[in-house]
A and B are shown apart, each in its own frame.
Chain A
Amino acid sequence: MGTLIKVLGTGCSKCKQTTAIVTSVVEENNINASIEKVEDILDIMKYNVMTTPAVVINEEVKIKGRVPSKEEILELLKQ
């Protein structure tokens, strides 16, 4: 089964950037992963994040409150 990546954010520009970065990393490296955007505030709160954007990989919050770099995402997905 592929990796499940969720990008949490209410839809501001930083959240969109994050989604774009995650998407391009997955595509460029042919990673078997599905990306989901979580925009509903109630769903976001389930992950106990207070700062968005946040990146959740296999239900574990990996990055919060900032836009990650491509290298970081790649590193996290390799684990």
Chain B
Amino acid sequence: MFDWVQNIANYLVFDVLNMNMESHLAEALNFFIYDTVKIFILLFVVIFLMGIINSYFPVDKVRNYLSRKKLYGFEYLMASLFGVVTPFCSCSSIPLFIGFVKGGIPLGVTFAFLVTSPLVNEVAIGLFVGLFGFKTTIIYVVSGVLLGMISGIILQKLRLEPYLTPWVKEILANAEKEQEQFISEKQTFRQRLPIIWNEVLKILKGILPYVLIGIAIGGLMHGYIPEGFFEQYMSKANLFAVPISTILAVPMYSNASGILPVVQVLVAKGIPLGTAIAFMMGVVGLSLPEAMLLKKVMSFKLIGIFFGVVTLCIIISGYIFNLIF
């Protein structure tokens, strides 16, 4: 599908710049051009599609639905999927959290949403398709959704309501299965399109530097580090690799755009996919800035338990990934 991009990259590097095919620099540059063009095409497509879904997606109705119906466990899946389609702007996570609590939606279901939302989003999906192909992307998305569900179910079982901050507990006590009336925006597709379009450009512009830096680092590593270099340090046989890389990743923060191109090269150079993905999930899904935000609604103890459970689930999924691939 992207042969033509490779041809352009070859032409630019070997013909226009007349670089030696064997040199590391030529290889790194070729890889950089090819990856950048391909990834931006895919990012554009995925972000645009998600933008359309998002524009029509009735956040309020889903919340009302979740709080109204008894769904026998199905609500965890719904909340998790809900996290996939909602764009993750950290500033929205607290209002959404409170909105869920107010609607009498169980805490665990809300957590399912909170976990999946940063892990699986349009930027991550676009990058994943570009770097790892469709099959791995689907596996990643499915495991991201499952991760949210399972963490949510475990957290629900732990009965954590007492560890919310007092004002949230008050809201919880007054939670009604209210069906709030929301004013929904009635716009035609033609009216929506320019808004969606602007949003797509804004997201792309925002992540551009991170992706470029990520790909540049990736490109350098690709050209200079020999194949299989990491295998000797982080092979599948090394059982500590997954937990160590996950725990190292949790305090770090980067969005998917910066970290994924690097992860791809790490995998190409011999780090098992599961270990790499566990690392990435740790970086993207949990972070200190997020913990600071959550402090408004949760006690330190609750944040600790939340991070602990999710970290554990990420480690387990890392092992599973390594078993599959």
Q: A residues within 8 Å of B by Cβ?
A: 9-12, 14-15, 41-42, 44-45, 48-53, 60-63, 65-67, 69, 72
In the complex, A44→B182 CA distance in Å? Answer: 15
Does more than half of chain B's interface fall in helix, strand or loop, or is it mixed? Answer: helix
**Residue pair A65, B92 in contact (C-beta under 8 Å):** yes
In the complex, A51→B100 CA distance in Å? Answer: 12
Given contacts A65-B59, A69-B194, whether A51 and B92 have CB atoms under 8 Å apart is yes
**Residue pair B89, A14 in contact (C-beta under 8 Å):** yes
In the complex, A60→B183 CA distance in Å? Answer: 9
List residues of chain B with CB within 8 A of the CB of A10. 91, 94-95
In the complex, A62→B185 CA distance in Å? Answer: 8
List residues of chain A with CB within 8 A of the CB of B96. 50-51
Contact residue among A42, A51, A60 (Cβ-Cβ distance under 8 Å from B167): A42
Q: B residues within 8 Å of A by Cβ?
A: 59-60, 63, 86, 89-92, 94-96, 98-100, 102, 167, 171, 180, 182-183, 185, 194-195, 198-199, 202, 296
**Residue pair A52, B102 in contact (C-beta under 8 Å):** no
Which residue of chain B has its CB nearest to the CB of A14? B89
Given contacts A51-B59, A61-B183, A66-B195, whether A45 and B98 have CB atoms under 8 Å apart is yes
Does more than half of chain A's interface fall in helix, strand or loop, or is it mixed? Answer: loop
**Residue pair B91, A50 in contact (C-beta under 8 Å):** no
Would you give 21 A-B contacts (Cβ < 8 Å), ordered by A?
Answer: A14-B89, A15-B91, A41-B95, A41-B98, A45-B95, A45-B98, A45-B171, A48-B182, A50-B92, A50-B95, A50-B96, A50-B98, A51-B59, A51-B92, A52-B89, A52-B91, A60-B183, A65-B92, A67-B199, A67-B202, A69-B198
In the complex, A44→B202 CA distance in Å? Answer: 25
List residues of chain A with CB within 8 A of the CB of B98. 41, 45, 50
Given contacts A61-B183, A65-B59, whether A12 and B90 have CB atoms under 8 Å apart is yes
**Residue pair A41, B94 in contact (C-beta under 8 Å):** yes
With both chains docked as a complex, state the minimum distance between the C-beta of A47 and any C-beta of chain B, in angstroms: 10
List residues of chain A with CB within 8 A of the CB of B194. 69
Given contacts A10-B94, A52-B95, A66-B195, 20 further A-B contacts (CB under 8 A): A12-B89, A12-B91, A15-B91, A44-B95, A45-B98, A45-B99, A45-B171, A48-B180, A48-B182, A49-B95, A49-B99, A50-B59, A50-B60, A50-B63, A50-B100, A51-B95, A51-B96, A63-B185, A65-B59, A69-B198
In the complex, A14→B202 CA distance in Å? Answer: 10
In the complex, A12→B202 CA distance in Å? Answer: 15
